[in-house]
Amino acid sequence: MSENGPLIIVGTGLAGYNLAKEVRKLDNDRELVLITADDGRFYSKPLLSTGFAKGKQADELAMQDAAAMAEQLGARVMTHTRVLHVDTQARTVRTDAGELHYGDLVLACGAHARPLPLAEDVQDRVLSINDLSDYGRFRQQLDGRKRVAIIGAGLIGSEFANDLALGGLEVQVIAPDEQLMPGLLPAQVAAPVQAALAKLGVRFHLGRSVVGAQAAGEGLVLELDDGSQLEADLVLSAIGLLANTALAQDAGLVCGKGIQVDRYLRTSDPHVYALGDCAEVMGMQLMYVMPLMSCARALARTLTQEATQVSYPVMPVMVKTPACPLVVSPPVTAATGLWTVTGEEQDLKALFHDAQGTLHGYALTGAAVSEKLQLNRQLPAWLA
């Protein structure tokens, strides 16, 4: 902790704002500045993939604007301001609105959508939804259109497929793997989720990649690698997120897939910290809400009271595919192991054991979701 200058937080997503809230629970006096490239509205990002079926516009998902957050936090919130450079020697950040000195700096600058290698003239018809303004743009462009193609069948692609189909759109999903959520689920468990989405009307093109796209009227024609084509009014790209590490790399901080931090959330510079989607904590890149909340609580103590290590309990992910309820605790504590699947139809229980027979993860669908709490008790903490 350094009292020699304000605490500056870059980013007002769930990581930045929750850290600020945790800091204020412990210290009302520390000068606090939050800087964000966006409009600084406080919202819960997970609601973006359930908003359409509920008929929600972007404004309805925003819970508080930046001015209200500034007042609540007793902080300065600089909106529409991009941090361009960090000088760790001088302890300054250069922004497009001038330079600021910091005592401690926290990078909570999130992640960006992995780009799709498509021609420039069609890029503006391909959207990714990773923040509230993306969602607003999507809702605006959707106006009166019905046919949406989703590229990517991971967690986010599957959730959007469920939500948009539930909301009455014609949804097609294209992905190179033969199953949904390949990084998260065994194929047997992905099958009932896919079947339930198909029942909602979602059409799947799995094992297929998009190799080109052409503008066609107001929409697009996508070319797949088997020579087939499909038409869509709007295309959503959900092929994954990349941590925003450019600022940290430029400042000379050590980065891997994310900005690398230790259990104190400290980067390779003693006065710069990172948490949330931009961070790689002890080698783990966990782009979920619960890990960033654990980080926010620990880091707030480090910044205001005493150095505190982050601990991760078991943090299962409720996948928002209501067509087929699904909860997953990914096996983050084991490098290798095997899934065994029991149950039938929609109600499956998959358990992941290592070679010694220790349970490290699970995936539950349908009625089996009720076994979540009992299984949590059997799992090792993610970071003890």
**Closest C-alpha to 190, from 337, 287, 324:** 324
Residue among 285 and 308 whose Cβ is closer to ligand FAD: 285
* Residue among 62 and 289 whose Cβ is closer to ligand FAD: 289
Q: Which is nearer to ligand FAD, 10 or 230 (CB)?
A: 10
User: Residue 230 or 238: which CB sits closer to ligand FAD?
Assistant: 238
Q: List interacting residues with ligand FAD (CB under 6 A).
A: 10-16, 35-38, 45-46, 48-49, 82-83, 108-111, 129-131, 156, 244, 247, 276-277, 287-290, 292, 317, 320
CB of 275 to ligand FAD, least distance (A): 7
Among residues 171 and 230, whose Cβ is nearest to ligand FAD? 171
Q: Please, what is the minimum distance in Å from the beta carbon of residue 229 to ligand FAD?
A: 28
Judged by beta carbon, residue 163 or residue 233, the one nearer ligand FAD is 163
CA distances from 107 to 64, 71, 135, 277 (A): 22, 22, 24, 10
CB of 215 to ligand FAD, least distance (A): 26
Helices and strands (H and E) in the chain: how many: 10, 27
Q: What is the 3-state secondary structure (H, E, C) of 173-207?
A: EEECCCCCCCCCCCHHHHHHHHHHHHHCCCEEEEC
User: Do the strands 170-175 and 147-151 form a parallel or antiparallel pair, or are they unpaired?
Assistant: parallel
With tokens 């300065």, the residue in question is 76
Q: Which is nearer to ligand FAD, 24 or 230 (CB)?
A: 24
Please report how close the Cβ of residue 123 comes to ligand FAD at its closest, in angstroms.
Answer: 19
The CA dihedral of 285, 380, 328, 14, to the nearest 10 degrees, is: -40
Q: CB of 202: closest distance to ligand FAD in angstroms?
A: 17
Q: How far is the CB of 294 from ligand FAD (least distance, A)?
A: 12
What is the spatial distance between Cα 152 and Cα 236, in angstroms, rounded to a whole number? 9
Beta partners for 210? Answer: 224
- H helix intervals, the chain: 14-26, 58-61, 66-73, 120-123, 132-142, 155-166, 187-199, 246-250, 289-304, 372-376
- Tell the smallest beta-carbon distance from residue 81 to ligand FAD (Å): 6
CB 164 → ligand FAD: shortest distance, Å?
Answer: 12
In the complex with ligand FAD, which residue's Cβ is closer, 73 or 224? 73
Distance from C-alpha of 358 to C-alpha of 337, rounded to nearest angstrom = 9
